[in-house]
Structure 1
Amino acid sequence: MSFEFKRMLMVKEQLQGRDVKDKRVLDAFLNVPRELFVLEEYKDRAYDDSPLPIGYGQTISQPYMVAKMTELLDLNEDDILLEIGTGSGYQAAIASRLCKHVYTVEIIPELVDFAKSNLKKAGIKNVTVILGDGSVGLKDYAPYDKIIITAATESVPEELFEQLKVGGYLVVPEGDRFTQWLKRYIKLEEGKIVSEDYSACVFVPLRGKKGFK
């Protein structure tokens, strides 16, 4: 079975077969080869309905979870997105198809190199991968239209709300080390923040100054 066929099957069964309806998101998944973002020994499992190890205690998230988080971001063509936790670069690659630019911060140097290599192989040029502590955000290019945190956090660091534009969305798995709830925060006028709850999930813990101790 070819990767192309597996990719189409993934979109049909794992995404459309659940509750992912945004055509732009579905098209992005059809156009980004997931096999380029996994370790060589897992290439045959690239389209499994599950997360996969990428080394250093980290994973590439389950395709459905990547899709759901992307859909919740509601990305527009002119949006600048900040991603906290680059991993293999797959989430950034998907988002890059839907927005103007992605700045993504990764705390593990080896994964910075892995993600850069993967994005280059995929021919993606509107993603900037930065080595740093994403738990305090990335002031350099703030404010951002949208922010996504791809690791579990007990609560969203205040720095990230400060770096989010008014009207912007922040999508995050929030909870303890073992189970989290997928949430979307919306920043309103005068700094007011409202939240929406979606579904239970499990992510690796956020590292860094404002991550899990």
Structure 2
Amino acid sequence: MRMSTTGRVLHDPKGGSFRFDAGAVCLDFAHTGGEGPYAVFETLHRPSDLAAWLAEPPLSATPAVPPSAAELTAAKSLRQAIWETAHDRAADRPLTGTAVETLNRAASAPSLVPELSAGGTSAGWAAPVRTEQVLSALAREMIELLTGPLAARFRECASDDCPLVFVDTSRPGARRWCAMERCGNRHKLRALRARRQEPPETA
């Protein structure tokens, strides 16, 4: 099951925010924080933070029982596996065994079950929604991306100092930047400054 995505707003701990569409909900989830130097971007500090993120559109999956501390740990492990496999695929590197195992383990749990409304014009998730089901849906979406028609469309932002990764869903497949309003505009500004500093051509 593919889930549509409208992206999320990312916040820089140094200030500022921008809208980033990673191309898939599972990749949006991969950018909710991280390990090592990316720990400063952490947004899932408590189980309630995880519940709030899962409940937001377009996923809109509110767990019937609040996530536990163990489920938060599992979610962060899945997040890291999605992050690692996305970067490996973007760089055309072999996927690491531990990341693949984490994805497969999460995907092996029962997934969310779509449920059509009585009027037949909308759908939600069959109750009760469990955190394990939502994590399974995210893992399955990532597996579909890695093995489907978009497998060659994983990209790292072209900026030298931006680690964001996305799947390019555009028709021409020419997306280079995490967001034009961020790294795209910075690149244009640097290029303009460089041109202005070039000495005039001599005859």
Same fold (TM over 0.5): no
Higher share of residues assigned strand: 1
| TM-score, with structure 1 as normaliser | 0.30
| TM-score, with structure 2 as normaliser | 0.31
Higher share of residues assigned helix: 2
Larger radius of gyration between Structure 1 and Structure 2:
2
